[in-house]
Each structure stands twice: as C-alpha cells, then as structure tokens.
Homo-oligomer: A and B are copies of this chain.
Amino acid sequence: MSNENDIPDFPTSITPQSQDFGRWYIDVVRRAELADYSPVKGCMVIRPYGYAMWELIQQGLDKRFKATGHVNAYFPLLIPESLLMREAEHVEGFAPQVAWVTHGGTEKLEERLVIRPTSETIIGTMYAKWIQSWRDLPILINQWANVVRWEKVTRLFLRTTEFLWQEGHTAHETAEEAQEETLRMLGVYKDFAETELAMPVMDGQKTESEKFAGAERTYSIEALMRDGRALQAGTSHNLGQNFSKSYEIKFQARDKSVQYVHTTSWGVSTRLIGGVIMVHGDDGGLILPPKIAPYQVVIVPIPRGNWKETVLPKAQSIQAELVARGIRVFLDDRDSQTPGWKFNEWELRGVPIRMEIGPKDLEKSQVVLARRDTREKLFTPMEGLVPAVEELLNTIQRALFERAVKFRDAHTSNTDSYEEFTSIMDGRPGFVISPWCGSDACEAAIKTETQATIRNIPFASEPATGKACVKCGSSATVHAWFAKSY
C-alpha cells in the first residue's frame, strides 16, 4: 500500500493463522464485532455486524425454501418430557444435552419441560393432529428458531449452548417423495453455500454412527477450513416412518388404507458464519464474499484541504448511485478517525471493496478501488464507476470460490495405505479419501488412532470395487472422506 491515502496508524492485534488458528479465529470474531462472550456459560451474543450476515443468510435460504414450495411457521420452545421420550433413539441422542425447566414462577411444574434441542417431537405431534388424508400431504414447513443443547466445550458460532438455525420438517405420502425431498434440500444447501458463501462443499451420506438420532439416513455438506479441518455445514435427514410411528402421524391413503407418513428434517445454523470466516479469512482478518457482506463497499474520503466541500459531496453522490443499484455501501465520513484507522478497520471486517477518494483523485476524475481478497489497488475512472463496481463484486465472489476450491483440492489426498493415512493425518491437514469396508469397528478405530472421522460418503465418490478397507484390509464397499473436524 503506497499512495497518498495510506496512513497506517492502527496496529491490528490478530494472532497469525500460522501461529494459532483457533486463536486467530476468536480474535477475528471479536475484533470484527461479529459476536462476543456473554455472562451465560456457553451462550454468545451475536453483535450487529454478525447478525447482519445472519440476516443475509436467512434471506438467501428463505427465498430458496419458498421457491421449493415451503412455508414458515412457529412451534413452541418448550417440550414436555413425555413427548420427547416417545422416539427411543432420539431420546438417547438428545436427553443428555437438554436444558430442563422445572419451575414456572414460584410453582414446581407437574411435568418437566425441555427447551427444544430440535423440534421433531413437537412438530410431529402437531402433524398428527393436522393430517387426516393424503389430500393434506405433503406438508412442507420450515421454522426459524433458537435451540439449546447443553455443550461442555463451546466456541463462538461453531458450538454454543444456544444457537439460531432453521429446521425444515416435511411429511409425505410415500418413501420416494421423502427421499426426493431429503436430497432436494441438501441440494439447496449446497447451492446456497457455493453460490452465496463461496464455500465449496462435498455432499454425501453420513455413516450409521454419525447419523441423526432417529433418522433412517442422514446426508451432509462438508467444507474444508483453512486449517485443514472439516466443518459439517448442513444436514438433511430422511426420517422414514420412525417419527410417524412414535407420534402417530397417520393418514388415509388413496386406497383407503391407513398409513404412516414419511418425514424428513433438515437444518443449517449460525455455524455457517464460522464457516465463512474460516474458509476465506487471512491474517488481516475477515474476507467476506460480496453476497454475504453487510457492506459490499466502504467509501473512505481522504480528508485533505476543503474535503467537506469537494470530496465529501462526490462521495455522497457515488454512494447514492451505488445504493440505487442495490449495492450495500457504507460511507465512513467520521471525523473522529483517520483514514489509516478506517482502512485497517474495514480490512479487519472483510469489506470486499474499499473505495478511496481524495482531492487528487477528484482532479484526475478517478477513485481507488482496493480489493480485500487480493489487496490489489485499481485506479478506476469516475465514468462508468457503478458498472465497474458491480463487475468487480462479481469477480471477487467468483475468485473467492475458486480460491477455496483450489485450497480444498490441494488439501485432499487419496490413499489405500493405513500407514500413509496416519502419516497424512499427523502432518498434513485436509481430507483423505480412502476405501472403507463399512464397519463401525474400523470407523471407530480410525477415530481413536488418528482423530479423523468419516465426514461423509460423497455422492461423487469413486466406486471401491476390488479395493481393500484402509483399516482392516477386508473388502471395501465405498470410498469415504475422512478428516479431523470441528
């Protein structure tokens, strides 16, 4: 950085990624004012800048949910103990980590209530009341809500006792329709993650041991963070008739027989924000994909001479033009801070484009556009500025996705040898693709010995015909993607 506009007077104090990635992550989350610790153990505060990202995520997903025929609704936060207990596997999975409400005001409750850890039980109960006939199907409902899961170890956005999410819950006439829905919504997640978050994800099926408590089949999208760990970024479950049998969700079929519906559920959470931070960020702080950036452009006027009469009005009119085109712009005309401080601040906060305008720029009828991702500086004529900014935002969005794909590919290895597998897992983080026999025992042994888990069996996985399981050497059934994970 070396033109008149650069006055570096605000030292950042973010731990470098190479020194301690976990520390870097927390430094960025807090310094960029995305979230903060709260006085409630394991619970975070999502600050306005982080919440603005969540609002953009909500809008992008909600639009996709509605385009695929879903509607939103809201179900109670509190679930009676007896209701939770009706699906055996589900209870086993969730009972150890729920918060219990035992008193209302000064009175002890007759029956304890849990704060929802997820809503299959309460929603299933309502569906049983609402569904009578095949004519009432499918039911395609989504809920935006908070959930609570008592976690021992927490990390801002990635794992907190309370988090915000959406949970889709659908009921169908046939097994085929439920399976189609399960995969459709996984596809929506993949499209959203790649298109809006610029985060490449691997879509596939979870193993038996990793599936949702009570599901027939669980599918996930998995992304690779810059420290080489995988993040489960979204899941979609085919619940078969497990919940409909436990919660008596029956309907009269076209042939007049009484049948149980087939249900699905699917969700993503504020964890996605953690994914965006760890897929794109660098030692300077956040790097936000334009589609998810609260501000896509920050304009920093350079306060020289009579800038308030010359530079500022120009900056304001550029802002107005950009806003009219639907671009999210912040004009940082604060007197209390220097341009250098502002450059640093907005770099830390990952704004895709910084626009600098000083008196000299005005003379030359140009502005400086600084890209956050490449740190390039582009002297850009005022003439045609708005389309140039639009174009640059698209370029940055694409570049971030491509860079992330390249990073993932460079950190994905193939091996059939367990020796090599363990040595990669020791030294070089990332995905490892290996043939696997399908047994829980091998999966568990690998986890114990290397900390790596099977993230999923990607749909695009190569067949494993003739291969030997990387762990036990017996006949492999699939190629699995392994990684250490969050």
Residue of B nearest to A72 (CB): B51
A122 and B39 in contact, given A103-B99, A106-B96, A162-B76 (Cβ under 8 angstroms): yes
Residue of B nearest to A97 (CB): B105
Q: Which of A77-85, A218-226, A342-350, A358-366 lies on the face that meets chain B?
A: A77-85
Q: Could you say which residues of chain B place their CB within 8 Å of the CB of A47?
A: 73
Chain B CB within 8 A of A388 CB: no
Say whether B43 contacts A126, CB under 8 Å.
no
Q: Could you say which residues of chain B place their CB within 8 Å of the CB of A161?
A: 78, 104
| CA–CA, A39 and B116, complex, Å | 14
Chain B CB within 8 A of A91 CB: no
Say whether B336 contacts A135, CB under 8 Å.
yes
Chain B CB within 8 A of A259 CB: no
A31 to chain B, nearest CB (A): 13
Provide the main secondary structure of the chain A interface: mixed
Mask: chain A, 33-69; 1 = CB below 8 Å from B; 0 = not = 0001011100111111001101100000000000000
Say whether A102 contacts B105, CB under 8 Å.
no
Say whether B73 contacts A40, CB under 8 Å.
no
A293 to chain B, nearest CB (A): 15
Query: Among the listed B43, B73, B78, B98, which residue makes an inter-chain contact with A148, where contact means beta carbons less than 8 Å apart?
Result: B78
| CA–CA, A47 and B74, complex, Å | 7
A397 to chain B, nearest CB (A): 24
Query: Among the listed B38, B52, B77, B122, which residue makes an inter-chain contact with A146, where contact means beta carbons less than 8 Å apart?
Result: B77
Say whether B76 contacts A40, CB under 8 Å.
yes
Q: Could you say which residues of chain B place their CB within 8 Å of the CB of A80?
A: 39-40
Residue of B nearest to A162 (CB): B77
Say whether A141 contacts B77, CB under 8 Å.
no
Chain B CB within 8 A of A10 CB: no
A100 and B97 in contact, given A40-B76, A51-B72 (Cβ under 8 angstroms): no
A42 to chain B, nearest CB (A): 9
Chain B CB within 8 A of A421 CB: no
A40 and B104 in contact, given A71-B48, A135-B336 (Cβ under 8 angstroms): no
Say whether A101 contacts B100, CB under 8 Å.
yes
Q: Could you say which residues of chain B place their CB within 8 Å of the CB of A125?
A: 38-39
Say whether A104 contacts B99, CB under 8 Å.
yes
Say whether B126 contacts A36, CB under 8 Å.
yes
Chain B CB within 8 A of A212 CB: no
Q: List residues 161-193 of chain A with CB under 8 A from any CB of chain B.
A: 161-162, 164
A141 and B48 in contact, given A43-B78, A96-B106 (Cβ under 8 angstroms): yes
A482 to chain B, nearest CB (A): 29
Chain B CB within 8 A of A115 CB: yes
A8 to chain B, nearest CB (A): 21
Q: Could you say which residues of chain B place their CB within 8 Å of the CB of A148?
A: 77-78
Chain B CB within 8 A of A150 CB: yes
| CA–CA, A84 and B287, complex, Å | 38
A479 to chain B, nearest CB (A): 37
Chain B CB within 8 A of A129 CB: yes
| CA–CA, A100 and B73, complex, Å | 26
A105 to chain B, nearest CB (A): 5
Say whether A40 contacts B99, CB under 8 Å.
no
| CA–CA, A83 and B43, complex, Å | 15
Say whether A40 contacts B78, CB under 8 Å.
yes
A78 and B126 in contact, given A55-B72, A96-B105, A104-B99 (Cβ under 8 angstroms): no
Chain B CB within 8 A of A75 CB: yes
Chain B CB within 8 A of A113 CB: yes
Query: Among the listed B73, B96, B104, B126, which residue makes an inter-chain contact with A51, where contact means beta carbons less than 8 Å apart?
Result: B73
| CA–CA, A99 and B77, complex, Å | 12
Q: List residues 133-163 of chain A with CB under 8 A from any CB of chain B.
A: 135, 141, 145-146, 148, 150, 161-162
Q: Could you say which residues of chain B place their CB within 8 Å of the CB of A100?
A: 101-104
| CA–CA, A45 and B47, complex, Å | 29
Residue of B nearest to A141 (CB): B48
A-B contacts besides A51-B72, A78-B162, A104-B161, 9 pairs, CB < 8 Å: A38-B122, A38-B126, A43-B77, A51-B71, A77-B146, A97-B105, A101-B101, A101-B115, A146-B146
Listed by A's residue number, 7 A-B pairs whose Cβ atoms lie within 8 Å are A47-B73, A77-B162, A78-B99, A97-B104, A100-B103, A115-B115, A135-B336
Q: Which 3 A-B pairs have the closest CB atoms?
A: A43-B76, A48-B71, A104-B150
